[in-house]
A and B are shown apart, each in its own frame.
Chain A
Amino acid sequence: MITISKINETLFGKKLKVINIGLESFAEDLRKQGVKVIEVDWRPPAKGKKELLDLLDKLEALK
């Protein structure tokens, strides 16, 4: 059974290290504060098409 203290152990009790996915300005702001940030080079999956996206989700669920 995982308890709430996991928030304390893995987040509040550890150095913050962020994976940023989306607006680049958020990553820049965190770096200015001395926080380590990894930026994901994100692109809309399945060219942003709903039907393709649903299909992709089904495929990933099969993995």
Chain B
Amino acid sequence: MTVKTLVKKNSYYDSVTLMIITNDIKKLDGVEEVLVGMGTEHNIALAKDLGLFTSELEGVTANDLIISMKVADEGVFEKAVAKVEELLSSKQEEEEGEEVKPQSIDSAMDANPDANLVLISVPGQFAAREARKALLKDRHVHLFSDNVTIEEELELKKLAHERGLLVMGPDCGTAIINGAALAFANVVAKGPIGIVAASGTGAQETSTIIAKNGSGITQLIGTGGRDLKEAIGGIMMIDGIKALAEDPDTKVILLVSKPPAESVARKVLDVAKETGKPVVVHFIGGTAELVNEYGLVFSESLEDAAVKAVALSKGEEPKDAPEFSIPREKVEEIVKRETEGMKPEQKYIRGLYSGGTLCDEAMLFMTREFGGVYSNAPLSPEFKLEDSLKSKEHTVIDLGEDEFTVGRPHPMIDSTLRAERIEEEAKDPEVAVILLDVVLGYGSNPDPAGSLLDAIKKAKEEATKDGRYLSVVASVCGTEDDPQPLSEQVRKLESAGVVVMPSNIQAVRMAIKIAKRG
């Protein structure tokens, strides 16, 4: 094996384009390790970690494209570089037919006075500068970028608040504004419910369940996961609630967040109460007392929140969502079928998640049942896995955590790691159920279910060879109008023997029933 490097000066490409190319190159024969990326400090450190650093990488800048590989020989490297160039030039050809693009955010804003929102996804260290420029020219901001400091977040949100603007983010994966899905979001019909969410997949799960229940949304305002931390104080959730309060089309407001600090929770709930509109609150894992104290509607799960919001929008009394929305006999029948061929030692659930909040919800409800769940991102520190690659007893993994996404796309885009892990878990004779989320919508893989099918089939075969039956339970977070229609994705999973439940919480409950044999 030899390490070879090529640097192309002053050729900029975005990170997703380069990660997709990296994945294609990795599949070539004779290529052991590869990094195709811009010469940022982060990528240079990554090259060192991967054993790909050579002297050519000294002095490169974030405007230089680096192609570094550990390859069998020079011939393989030449072939691989030719492939990179072919992929990049096909990208350029696509772009040549397009209009000339403005070189800066300022010139884009000046030439388009009617542009009202700036969507920012540049690397984190540059993102706040661009967001500031947008706010100073009175544009609302969706800040998808992560690695923005909390000090920068506070400064941007204060500035936005003073100017009456929204800053959705940083690290805001999901928003739906005026019916348009921004970044990772689903196609949800228009309707009477307005959502403000400090959680990307929490927003996707609630908005799609609203759609599955025949209703729709006015706006889905993302705030970024840190908005309700004490340091930020819920600035954007509060401004979002006030905006929805004034919006005549919004009849019901739904709030989603991890449990905030009590002082922040009280500020938010105060404002929510003042709206005079029905407000459903889902502080994931939070308790009912505080919400009830303000006369607002508490919800126990993401599905419960969505179902209650739909009921309220029809002027009905909000009832708790049922444990299962399919008939009881059907539930028993599935449990019987899935447990028949299991060996007595098969007792554990292995959750492999792409969505962070869906992963939290699984851990929360499994912890209530089993007393503790191991994870790379556990609810309490004593359940932190020593090695994130090795599951233990009941384990739920968040594959969207940074440790799995350095130098590769998020698991919602690229299923490779999750597919490998499904096969890995199947080898463990104590595993009863593999629990999955499949997230549809813009931003996600064009066929997320399809990209997991081979692994699921192999995992089931592996278990069968060993005289075991392995159950796979999933939920699909999406709508019929998504680029990957919901029913097609469900059908694909079911064709591979997957039990598909209508929501994450129901999938978790089904997995628990199967693991406990009823």
A7 touches B442 (CB 8 A): no
Whether A18 contacts B119 in the complex (CB less than 8 A), given A10-B138, A11-B177, comes out as: yes
Bits for B152-181, please: 1 = Cβ < 8 Å to A, else 0. 000000000011111000000000011111
Q: Which of A26, A35, A45 has the most CB of B within 10 A?
A: A26
Task: For the complex formed, measure the closest distance between the CB of A14 and the CB atoms of chain B, giving whole angstroms.
Answer: 6
Q: Is A16 an interface residue (CB 8 A)?
A: yes
Classify the interface of chain A: helix, strand, loop or mixed. Answer: mixed
Q: Is A6 an interface residue (CB 8 A)?
A: yes
A40 touches B102 (CB 8 A): yes
CA distance A33 to B101 in the complex (A): 20
B117 touches A23 (CB 8 A): no
Partner of A19, one of B16, B98, B108, B180: B108
Q: Which of A18, A21, A29 has the most CB of B within 10 A?
A: A21
B247 touches A21 (CB 8 A): no
A19 touches B163 (CB 8 A): no
Whether A16 contacts B177 in the complex (CB less than 8 A), given A25-B443, A48-B63, comes out as: yes
Whether A33 contacts B180 in the complex (CB less than 8 A), given A4-B239, A19-B108, A38-B108, comes out as: yes
Partner of B121, one of A2, A23, A38: A23
CA distance A23 to B247 in the complex (A): 31
Q: Is B317 an interface residue (CB 8 A)?
A: no
CA distance A33 to B165 in the complex (A): 24
Q: Is B496 an interface residue (CB 8 A)?
A: no
A12 touches B62 (CB 8 A): no
Task: For the complex formed, measure the closest distance between the CB of B75 and the CB atoms of chain A, giving whole angstroms.
Answer: 33
Residues of B within 8 A of A50 (CB): 125
Instruction: Give the interface segment out of B139-147, B280-288, B382-390.
Output: B139-147
Whether A22 contacts B144 in the complex (CB less than 8 A), given A35-B180, A44-B62, comes out as: yes
Return the chain B residue nearest A41 by Cβ. B101
B126 touches A18 (CB 8 A): no
CA distance A41 to B187 in the complex (A): 28
Q: Is B261 an interface residue (CB 8 A)?
A: no
Task: For the complex formed, measure the closest distance between the CB of B412 and the CB atoms of chain A, giving whole angstroms.
Answer: 12
B164 touches A40 (CB 8 A): no
Whether A25 contacts B16 in the complex (CB less than 8 A), given A19-B112, A41-B101, A47-B61, comes out as: yes
CA distance A17 to B129 in the complex (A): 21
Which residues of chain B from 99 to 141 have any CB-CB distance to chain A below 8 Å in the complex? 101-105, 108-109, 111-112, 114-123, 125-126, 129-130, 134, 138-140
Q: Is A57 an interface residue (CB 8 A)?
A: yes
Residues of B within 8 A of A17 (CB): 112, 114-117
CA distance A25 to B423 in the complex (A): 30
Interface residues on B, range: 35 or more
Residues of A within 8 A of B451 (CB): none
Q: Is A15 an interface residue (CB 8 A)?
A: yes
Task: For the complex formed, measure the closest distance between the CB of B401 and the CB atoms of chain A, giving whole angstroms.
Answer: 20
Return the chain A residue nearest B250 by Cβ. A12
Whether A21 contacts B103 in the complex (CB less than 8 A), given A12-B243, A16-B178, A44-B63, comes out as: no
Whether A22 contacts B101 in the complex (CB less than 8 A), given A5-B246, A12-B178, A29-B442, comes out as: no
Whether A10 contacts B112 in the complex (CB less than 8 A), given A44-B62, A45-B126, comes out as: no
Q: Is B15 an interface residue (CB 8 A)?
A: yes
Residues of A within 8 A of B139 (CB): 19
Residues of B within 8 A of A44 (CB): 12, 38, 40, 61-63, 122-123, 126
Q: Is B219 an interface residue (CB 8 A)?
A: yes
CA distance A1 to B121 in the complex (A): 31
Task: For the complex formed, measure the closest distance between the CB of A36 and the CB atoms of chain B, giving whole angstroms.
Answer: 8
B112 touches A38 (CB 8 A): yes
B102 touches A41 (CB 8 A): yes
Bits for A50-63, please: 1 = Cβ < 8 Å to B, else 0. 10010001000000
B163 touches A2 (CB 8 A): yes
Which residues of chain B from 33 to 68 have any CB-CB distance to chain A below 8 Å in the complex? 38-41, 61-63
CA distance A21 to B131 in the complex (A): 10
Whether A21 contacts B118 in the complex (CB less than 8 A), given A4-B239, A35-B180, A48-B40, comes out as: yes
Whether A7 contacts B101 in the complex (CB less than 8 A), given A19-B117, A30-B182, A44-B126, comes out as: no
> Lowest 9 A-B CB distances belong to which pairs?
A48-B62, A22-B121, A6-B164, A47-B61, A2-B164, A44-B62, A41-B101, A7-B243, A29-B442
Given contacts A16-B178, A32-B442, 14 further A-B contacts (CB under 8 A): A6-B165, A8-B246, A15-B178, A18-B182, A19-B109, A19-B117, A21-B108, A21-B118, A21-B121, A22-B14, A23-B14, A48-B39, A48-B62, A49-B62
Q: Which residues of B contact A (CB under 8 A)?
A: 12, 14-17, 38-41, 61-63, 98, 101-105, 108-109, 111-112, 114-123, 125-126, 129-130, 134, 138-140, 144-145, 162-166, 177-183, 187, 218-219, 239, 242-243, 246-247, 442-443, 483
30 A-B pairs (CB sep. < 8 Å): A7-B164, A11-B117, A11-B140, A11-B166, A14-B116, A15-B178, A17-B115, A19-B118, A19-B139, A21-B118, A21-B119, A21-B121, A21-B130, A22-B119, A22-B120, A22-B144, A26-B121, A29-B181, A29-B442, A29-B443, A33-B180, A33-B187, A38-B112, A41-B103, A44-B12, A44-B40, A44-B62, A48-B61, A48-B62, A49-B61
